[in-house]
Structure 1
Amino acid sequence: MYRYTAFDRHFVHQRAAQYRDQLERHLNGQLSTDEFRPLRLQNGWYVQRHAPMLRVAIPYGELSSVQLRQLAKIAREYDVVTSGPFQAHGGYGHFTTRQNLQYNWIPLHRSAEVMELLAAVDMHGIQTSGNCIRNITSDVTAGIAPDEIVDPRPYCEILRQWSTLHPEFAHLPRKFKIAVSGALEDRAAILWHDIGLQLKKDASGAVGFQVFVGGGMGRTPIIATEVAAFVPWQQILVFLEAIVRVYNLAGRRDNLYKARIKILVKADGQKFIDAVNAEFQAILAGDLGGHEQLIPEAELARVQAYFVDPADVSPTPPLDPATLSSDPAYQRWLTRNVQGHRVAGFRAVTLSLKRVGIPPGDTSADMMEAAAELADRFSQGELRVSHRQNLLLPWVRESDLWALFQAARAAGFATANATLLTDQIACPGGDYCALANARSLPIAAAIAERYQDLDELEDLGAIDLHISGCINSCGHHHSGHIGILGVDKDGTEWYQLTLGGSDGSTLSGAAMPGKVIGPSFAADEIADAVEAVLETYKQQRQEAERFVETVKRLGLEPFKSAANAVRVVTARTGVPA
């Protein structure tokens, strides 16, 4: 893991002190609400439906047990509801699809204390909000994946340092997201980002980046366009500078819904690519300080030194973890939640945050502490936050898997459903978010409760179910094999159903947005509609055919007819199917 330098640490402490001064001036009336708003947003503080919300950055998903315990302390002592109808809420953090953690109930007057607690463990909320370059994300198995070409984490860290408080890019036309992958399989959904970077090696073994620009969800889901096949790693900051400069100058500022770079790329096509290349060459020529932005060999080596394997990790004779116990639950967990590793004798293990009664991605203070304990015992004190809103232990010895399973089961992390239907992605939706049109969490809960039979889930196979409470798509519904989008109809919650989306991973196929099947469903119909779609799949699938493959082979019509039948039954009887 990256360790903060003295400069890094001084920086975040100074930022926390600056925020305390700004907050105190706001609370005593020296800064109006409008004046304070951009200052709090620059540090990750929103005002949501019921209370402030803090978004904490977890760069490229890496987290230490020390940091997680601090996050647990904040949840327990600050994320508290002391009165009113939400008194039972609080004491939780919510892990997001972009490797952040959100708190929903911290009082604004205590927010400076929280910033200082974060700074004490080298964390912050800087640029988790606003029209700037947001948290840099990556593959949850970066550095340990068997199919890895190049470890992306050192480059992610260099990007993080380059983009943090970049003076030219603090007020972009719209928010800006970058994802990096260094493996053969894309586990970072890079084609759904404003910039997606794929690390590669050329024929000589030199490292560089394939660069994609203009991906995004929201009202107009678009898959990113390749703008460069291979940019040498030394030049990647210059190339990114060129991209963001072109966007900063040409991006729409007159229309919030057309301000993302995806709209510019779609509208300008080759003209955009030509403008980027011209800017890139101008910077490299020295007219705009390009040589100062080339990454020196020494700087890459300095950062790479933080991402070596832990001292007591070395290859060991592999063993078959299945021989450690015949417990059926353990055997199922091995199949679903345990992944391969590039170091012989080690595995990566998913700690599932998906169980009945807990919203996807939510983790209580007690569970955070329990996960930190598991990391210390079994994973060199390190965890990862995944795109799928789970935690992952990256350094587990095969010989420890049975003991880890028992400890994880006792702590509530051993639900053996990774990549299955109930391993859902969902945003907080209308229960918390002021932008949401509908609630996401009750829909996620209804589906999870309906599909608790693990044998049935295994029979259905790998299915990505993604749920968003509004068109902003924080639940990534566009990329779900099954996507659910909350919409408002005259003050009533309704839900669109999409099929056939993909995030670009091997299980999903090429990245693409799902397609809507028919009119929206009422809240009490949507779980039935999903069930009807899945029953159609079971009836129509070919041998060993996954859900998304059946959808692509048959098209939408059989699934649309089955789902719409639910609406007909409800209309005729007044009772959901």
Structure 2
Amino acid sequence: MKVIGRYNYDEIDFDFLKERINQFRSQIERRLNGELSEDEFKPLRLMNGVYLQLHSYMLRVAIPYGILSSRMLRGLAYIARYYDRGYGHFTTRQNIQFHWTKLEEVPDILTYLASVEIHTIQTSGNCIRNITSDEFAGVAQDEILDPRIYAEIMRQWSTLHPEFSFLPRKFKIAISGSSNDRIAACFYDIGILTRRNEQNKPVFEIWVGGGLGRIPVKGKIIRDDLPPEHLLAYLEAIIRVYNLHGSRNNLYKSRIKILVENLGIDAYRKQVNKEFDTMDLEQYRLSDDIINSIHKRFGHPNLADIPNASETMKKHQQNNPEFDRWVKHNSHPHFHKDYIATVISLKNIGETPGDMTADQMNALANLAEEYSFGEIRVTHLQNLVLGHVRKDQLFFLWQALQKYRLAMPNQGLITDIVCCPGLDYCSLANARSISVAKEIMSLFQDIRLQEKIGPIHIGVDGCINSCAHHHIMNIGVLGVNKKGEEFYQIKLGGSSYKGRAAIGAILGAALTAEEAVDAVRRLIDFYLEQRHENEYFIDTYNRLGISPFKEIVYATA
């Protein structure tokens, strides 16, 4: 039976993973018996998704373009239960992390994951990382083409690419099949959006040189009319220029964003076009035959017309205000009139944002089989999605989700906080992030207050690497170290939406954890006092500017 929504492996794929795992098994054995030092072993483990964190090894598992099957999710639940501490952590890059793995058990974990068509290859290291996409790919009404097909092609092209396995720095690519940006395209090394040209044909809009971290940069459009058939050739040209000229002697200046900023987009485009013009485009061309062959390896849902589906859902909404609230906040339109996509929030009050227990994984795997063709999607905001739910069955799905604390109606609201693991786990972190996120969530746990506040994005990071994207959140909270103590810097005004994308501005001096949480409360109170009717937080901020917000936080701080 084919996996719905995702490329299905054949024997070649399984043999490749088996060979790779056996290689890494040998490398781990050599590390454990002392033949390899940690410095020698580090690049080997990173290329296989293994990090050495504060308390143990962490394993990062790739979920290409964010698609899981029920079988895959059960496989992740198995790893969480028998090799970790009963849970996993979904990240902003459509990965899942297990924070308590033992190095000697990693080969067995990888072998089990491979059996359910999952791997960890290139989830770390200076290479092209997991290709991410829009969580509503293949579902959204505004989609021009299905980006999952192209994401899979990029995955195969980039995996162990001999020229791009040791880039100056890590490299991240995201693609959407729509011109409505749901991937934060301008903040990736390469971001790809889709639009129609004057002849009504699909073309790619290519952003390059974006990134967050220590130096946040909004990327620039390098080409807005790329025919899909030339995608691989053009990407290869972009990365060749970066690989040739990117800094390798300064960690903080090695990303493509620095190279593009230093050269200027026009000069960078000129070099890319020169490289592109020398390439054998026929060798790289994504012909209809190639696209169709990949498309056939995907499973596709059999969507049938359902009599009175919309009317049935509306009746349930009328009869149950709580269900109506959940539909209002946690659903997304489907291209088929009788189906709907629904967001499964992993942001319960008192729990770590993005975490999911093994029991919840197994439960959702079962529900996905019953209600959504066995398919689950991972979002870049640490939530999950069931993409193909019949409208007349949505109420019954919601009832089942409640039993497992998976029916929180807060998608896009203030408690839908994005949070990195922080100093509780990560050796790179300067401060704890999970506890601060939980405290902020507890302040606004009343759902009616959340609705009053309206749509807002908050990210809490434990270090400048910005795994929680604090730079481009409406309110960003960053943990910093001041003489061995944990403090928190607040940024305001960030946004990832196309046309309004912005990097937040620092509000003022860093605060203690208690002061930072209280500062968020003050900011929200002030916003509610000052906003115009139906004005979102980001709109009020842009209208008033940063000064009055700064005064409200620091006047009596």
TM-score, length of structure 1 as denominator length: 0.93
Match of 2:273 among 265, 272, 277: 277
Whole-Å Cα distance in 2 between the matches of residues 514 and 54 of structure 1? Answer: 31
Q: Give how far 1:101 is off.
A: 0.3
**SS of residue in 2 equivalent to 1:263:** helix
Q: How does 1:509-528 map to 2 (within 5 A)?
A: 510-528=500-518
Q: State yes or no: 1:427 paired with 2:406.
A: no
Residue number among 87, 92, 98 corresponding to 2:93 in the alignment? 98
Q: Contact 1:12/1:122 (CA < 8 Å) preserved in 2?
A: no
Q: Give me the whole-angstrom Cα distance separating, in 2, the residues matched to 1:217 and 1:519.
A: 21
TM-superposed deviation, 1:201: 2.6
2:552 maps to which of 556, 562, 568: 562
Q: State the AA in 1 paired with 2:102.
A: P
Please state whether the residue corresponding to 1:173 is helix, strand or coil.
Answer: coil
Shift of 1:554: 0.3
> Match of 1:74, as an amino acid?
I
Q: Partners in 1 of 2:33 and 2:316 — Cα distance?
A: 62
1:472 to 460, 465, 477: 465
> What secondary structure, in the 3-state scheme, does the structure 1 residue paired with 2:28 have?
helix
- Name the counterpart of 1:322: 314
1:575 is matched with none
Give percent identity, aligned residues only. Answer: 48
How far apart, in 2, do the equivalents of 1:201 and 1:304 lie?
21
Counterpart pick for 1:131 among 126, 133, 140:
126
Write out per-residue CA displacement over residues 409-441 of structure 1, whole angstroms, 9 at most, x where no aligned residue: 111100100000000111001110000011110
Q: Does residue 305 in structure 1 map to residue 310 in structure 2?
A: no
Q: 1:443 offset after TM fit, Å?
A: 0.4
Matched residue of 1:56: which SS?
strand
Say how many residue pairs are matched.
549
Partners of 1:308 and 1:118 in 2: how far apart? 20
Matches within 5 A, 1:185-196: 185-196=180-191
Query: Is the counterpart of residue 251 in structure 1 residue 246 in structure 2?
Result: yes
- C-alpha distance in structure 2 between counterparts of 1:397 and 1:219, whole Å: 44
Pick from 368, 373, 377 the counterpart of residue 370 of structure 2: 377
Counterpart Cα distance in 2 of 1:119 and 1:447? 39
Does 2:350 align with 1:386?
Answer: no
Question: By how many angstroms is 1:233 displaced?
Answer: 1.1
1:31 aligns with 2:27: no
Q: Is residue 348 of structure 1 aligned with residue 325 of structure 2? A: no
Q: Which structure's relative contact order is higher, taking Cα pairs within 8 Å and 6+ residues apart?
A: 2
User: Could you tell which deviates more after superposition, 310-319 or 54-63?
Assistant: 310-319
Q: Tell me which amino acid in the other structure corresponds to 1:230.
A: D
Offset at residue 208 of structure 1 (A): 2.3
Measured against aligned partners, the alpha-carbon deviations of 1:281-320 in whole angstroms (never above 9, x if no partner) come to: 111xx4xxx4322223211111122446313545755414
Q: Deviations over 1:334-383 (max 9, x none)?
A: 11112210011000011110002211100111111111111111110000
- 2:531 is matched with 541
Change in 2 beyond 3 A, CA 1:196/1:316? farther
Greater shift in the superposed pair: 15-24 or 436-445? 15-24
By how many angstroms is 1:207 displaced?
2.6
8 Å CA contact retained: 1:341, 1:348: yes
- For the 8 Å contact 2:246–2:255, the answer to whether it is kept is yes
Distance 1:30 1:473 in 2: 35
After superposition, the CA RMSD in angstroms is 1.3
SS at match of 1:478: helix
Of 140, 144, 151, the match for 2:146 = 151
Contact 2:90–2:96 under 8 Å retained in 1: yes
Decide whether the 8 Å contact of 2:341 with 2:388 is kept in 1: yes
Superposed, 1:257-272 pairs within 5 Å as 257-269=252-264, 270-272=266-268
Amino acid in the other structure paired with 2:142 = D
1:315–1:277 CA distance, 2 compared to 1 (3 A) = farther
- Work out which of the residue numbers 282, 303, 307 in structure 2 matches 1:291: 282
Preserved contact between residue 191 and residue 207 of structure 2 (Cα < 8 Å):
yes
Q: Which runs of 5+ in 1 are unaligned?
A: 80-89, 568-577
SS at match of 1:560: helix
Taking the aligned partners of 1:145 and 1:487, their CA distance within structure 2 comes to 39
Local SS of the residue matching 2:403: helix
What is the CA–CA distance in structure 1 between the aligned matches of 2:296 and 2:553, rounded to whole Å? Answer: 54
8 Å Cα contact 2:309-2:390 kept in structure 1: no
The answer on whether the counterparts of 1:192 and 1:215 sit within 8 Å (CA) in structure 2 is yes
Q: Secondary structure at the match of 2:35?
A: coil
For 1:217-255, what per-residue CA distance to the aligned partner results, in whole angstroms no more than 9, with x for missing partners?
A: 011111111111111111111101110000001011111
Question: 1:153-168 to 2 correspondence within 5 Å?
Answer: 153-168=148-163
Report the secondary structure of 2:393's partner residue. Answer: helix
- Matched to 1:19, the amino acid is F
SS in 2 for 1:488: strand
1:45 to 41, 50, 55: 50
1:492-520 residue CA offsets vs partner (Å, 9 max, x unmatched)? 11111111100116xxx611111111111
Q: TM-score, normalised by structure 2?
A: 0.97
Answer whether contact 2:179 2:193 (CA < 8 A) is retained: no
Contact in 2 for aligned 1:60/1:99 (Cα 8 Å)? yes
The reply to whether residue 553 of structure 1 matches residue 543 of structure 2 is yes
Q: Is there any run of 5+ residues in structure 2 with no aligned partner, and where? A: 1-5
